[in-house]
């Protein structure tokens, strides 16, 4: 029997994760493993060969969605000019909206994390990475654009990150809850409010 390559395994995991993301977007977290199996077009054995539970699938979905945004933030560090905090926030939220067609899914994750320790752990890990990326970018920007020393820049960036996360959560919540929400106007005002 031929060996399964790591590349093949990753492709199957991605196929399952994409199917789960579509299911969660349409059915919320009430989507069952049977729904994910049907959406993926794979057998139950194939799914359970990669994920032991729905919680593991949810973790993979969260890591995929936020991992793309974190990679995007890391790529911003390699530019000649570090983007301003407002530019960073706009890029992250625009990309997140593109990745997750329905931001209500993110609200569901937050809601579930209040009572489900497994989901809470996923949220803690993913937001921990997101916060670290914001702090890193904002600190780099503060040193380059404001001439702050390393310690001072880090302290400033840490405080600003809490505000940027709040603005991001506000964008996600309002875009999910309010039909009249004007995303571009919100982001334009966020850019005005954040240092530039």
Alpha carbon distance 168, 32 (integer Å)? 29
Q: Report, in angstroms and rounded to the nearest whole number, the Rg of the chain calculated over CA atoms.
A: 19
**65-79, 161-175, 179-193, range with the lowest pLDDT:** 65-79
Say if pTM beats, i.e. exceeds, 0.75: yes
Mind listing the pLDDT tens digit for each residue in 47-58? 999 999 888 888
Report phi then psi at 81, rounded to 5. Answer: -115, 125
CB 77 within 8 A of CB 136: yes
1-52: what fold? Arc Repressor Mutant, subunit A (1.10.10)
CB 85 within 8 A of CB 195: yes
**Domain edges within the chain:** 1-52, 55-193
Mind listing the pLDDT tens digit for each residue in 100-154? 767 788 888 888 889 888 788 888 888 898 899 999 999 999 999 999 999 999 9
Q: For 55-193, give the CATH class.
A: mainly alpha
């Amino acid at each position: 029997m031929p060996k399964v390559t790591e590349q093949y395994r990753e492709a199957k995991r991605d196929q399952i994760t994409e199917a789960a993301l579509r299911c969660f977007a349409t059915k919320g977290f009430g989507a069952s493993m049977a729904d994910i199996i049907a959406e993926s077009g794979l057998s139950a054995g194939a799914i359970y060969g990669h994920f032991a539970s729905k919680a593991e699938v949810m973790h993979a979905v969260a890591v995929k969605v936020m991992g793309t945004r974190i990679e995007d933030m890391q790529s911003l560090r390699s530019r000649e000019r570090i983007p301003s905090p407002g530019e960073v926030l706009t890029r992250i939220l625009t990309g997140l909206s593109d990745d997750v067609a329905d931001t209500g899914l993110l609200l569901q994750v937050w809601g579930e994390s209040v009572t489900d320790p497994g989901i809470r752990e996923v949220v803690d890990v993913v937001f921990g990475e997101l916060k670290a990326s914001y702090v890193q970018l904002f600190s780099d920007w503060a040193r380059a654009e404001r001439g702050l020393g390393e310690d001072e820049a880090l302290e400033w960036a840490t405080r600003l990150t809490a505000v940027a996360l709040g603005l991001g959560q506000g964008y996600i919540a309002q875009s999910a809850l309010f039909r009249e929400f004007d995303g571009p106007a919100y982001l334009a005002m966020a850019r005005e409010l954040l240092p530039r």
